[in-house]
Amino acid sequence: MKILIITFTGGLNPGTAMQALGVQTGLHLIYPTAQIDFLSFRDFKKIEILNMRIEKKIMVHTIIQKGYAFYRLQKYKKFRKKNFSYTKTVDLFNYAEEDIAFIKDYDLVAIGSDTILERGYSEKGRIGLNWMPLDVNKIYFAASASPANFEPKEDLKNVASRAKFIGLRDDLTINFFIQKLGINESRLIKQPDPSFFLDINKFKLSSSLAKKFKDGNKYALYNFNSNFPLRKELAEGLRSVGYKVVTTSYNPFADICLDTIDAFEWAGVFPLIDIVVTERFHDSVFGLRNEKPVIAIDWDTNRFSASGDSKTLRILEDYGHSHLHFNLCMDTDLKPIIVAVENIDKLFNRKNVVIANQRNENLVNQILLQIKEILQ
């Protein structure tokens, strides 16, 4: 059996790499001897980042961050080469007939990644190759359309309706498929993030880096892009209530920068910290899987819907902790966030998180059996 996975594995986002590894791990559980390949495609997301307008006052930090990222990129390339098998490179929006024929040679196409789903068309209106109504078994595997800020045309509705299985990661995407794509709710399965197929206990930070964490200190994992305008102020706020600030990428305002670690080492940071304060979805997922309090913050309008809905909000909602989600778009008041951090013992319900984790671990395996039965 030949399986093709269409999802992001590139860039320097460790959560993306772990998500992709989770998809592969899950599919290998039901098809142990399958040949599983990842579609290699031109990274349109990288082009968007390069075109992003950045304020002059934080430009220098962005440049330095890119420099520190170079070494880490080499480690990520080794990680991907070791763990993933890639196809030839295609352009999702400027593809040829031979690319279509190439994909049709697979027995199963599994689509994940929120960035893949949110980009239905090219700027010229051409439907993305991942949305093509190919004559193959196609499934959505814990897919997300976040932030779901586009109006789908009729052809996307037809493609979605032909999927053999529709597993969606969050209620934001479920609502999009129901309201925008016209898919009957009974066909939609809420599927936990693919990283739930991974055993988080096997990921460890190297002993040399783990020594940076001293007994008696409290540590906050703190990850925000360099263009977050309140990055310095929020870091100082965390320190003011007793936390050492830790980042897994370059951040001049952090106390500990783990800016050269790979995806496995990144996953090994979470057992060592006390709280997660982040804009990143997979920081939130791995924080909660490690039973750590998570405060998730949206601020970039490109990462949440017009109504304020987002994947970070939805993951906290799934764990019964939506009160720990904040949106700082057009807002510079950090006091509510610092107050939440200061009172996190009262606001965080570890028992509920443990129950939710167990529920998700049971659910991902049940869904695998359902997928296998549908495709028989």
Strand intervals (E) in the chain? 2-6, 35-41, 86-90, 108-111, 137-143, 165-168, 188-190, 218-223, 243-247, 256-257, 275-278, 294-298, 325-327
Residue 316 near residue 325, CB atoms below 8 Å: yes
Q: Which residues does 79 contact at the CB level (< 8 Å), separation at least 6?
A: 17, 262, 263, 264
User: Would you list the DSSP string of 169-219?
Assistant: SSHHHHHHHHHTS---GGGEEE---GGGGS-GGG----HHHHTTS-TT-EE
Residue 17 near residue 79, CB atoms below 8 Å: yes
Q: Which residues does 23 contact at the CB level (< 8 Å), separation at least 6?
A: 5, 7, 110, 112, 141, 142, 194, 197
Indicate whether 104 and 252 sit together in one domain: no
Residue 54 near residue 227, CB atoms below 8 Å: yes
Indicate whether 26 and 140 sit together in one domain: yes
Integer Cα distance of 12 and 7 in angstroms = 14
CATH number, domain of 190, equals: 3.40.50
Locate 131 and state its tokens.
Answer: 């949305």
The tens place of each residue's pLDDT in the chain, 376 residues long, gives: 999 999 988 777 899 999 999 999 999 999 999 999 999 998 766 555 444 454 555 454 554 555 656 777 788 888 899 999 999 999 999 999 999 999 999 999 999 988 888 888 888 889 999 898 888 999 999 999 888 888 888 889 989 999 999 999 999 999 999 999 999 999 999 999 999 999 999 999 999 999 999 999 999 999 999 899 999 999 999 999 999 999 998 899 999 999 889 899 999 999 999 999 999 999 999 999 999 999 999 999 888 888 889 999 999 999 999 999 999 998 899 999 999 999 999 999 999 999 999 999 999 999 999 999 999 8
Structural domain span for residue 101: 2-198+359-375
CA 222 from centre of chain: 16
> ∠ CA(336), CA(287), CA(167), 5° rounding?
105
Q: Which residues does 306 contact at the CB level (< 8 Å), separation at least 6?
A: 149
Indicate whether 230 and 152 sit together in one domain: no
By 3-state DSSP, what share of the chain in percent is helix, strand and coil, each rounded to 5?
A: 45, 15, 35
Integer Cα distance of 279 and 226 in angstroms = 12
pLDDT at 54: 47
Indicate whether 18 and 132 sit together in one domain: yes
pLDDT at 50: 46
Indicate whether 143 and 220 sit together in one domain: no
Answer left, alpha or beta for residue 7, where phi above 0 means left and psi between -120 and 50 means alpha.
beta
Number of domains in the chain: 2
Indicate whether 185 and 237 sit together in one domain: no
Indicate whether 50 and 132 sit together in one domain: yes
Indicate whether 363 and 352 sit together in one domain: no
Residue 23 burial by CB count (10 A; 0-12/13-18/19+): exposed, middle or buried?
buried
**Distance (Å) of CA 68 to CA 56, 119, 177:** 19, 29, 40
pLDDT at 49: 47
Indicate whether 346 and 221 sit together in one domain: yes
CATH number, domain of 231, equals: 3.40.50.2000
Closest CA to 119 of 99, 148, 141: 148
Integer Cα distance of 126 and 122 in angstroms = 5
Indicate whether 181 and 256 sit together in one domain: no
DSSP code, position 127: B
Indicate whether 172 and 263 sit together in one domain: no
Locate 306 and state its tokens.
Answer: 């017009």
Indicate whether 122 and 247 sit together in one domain: no
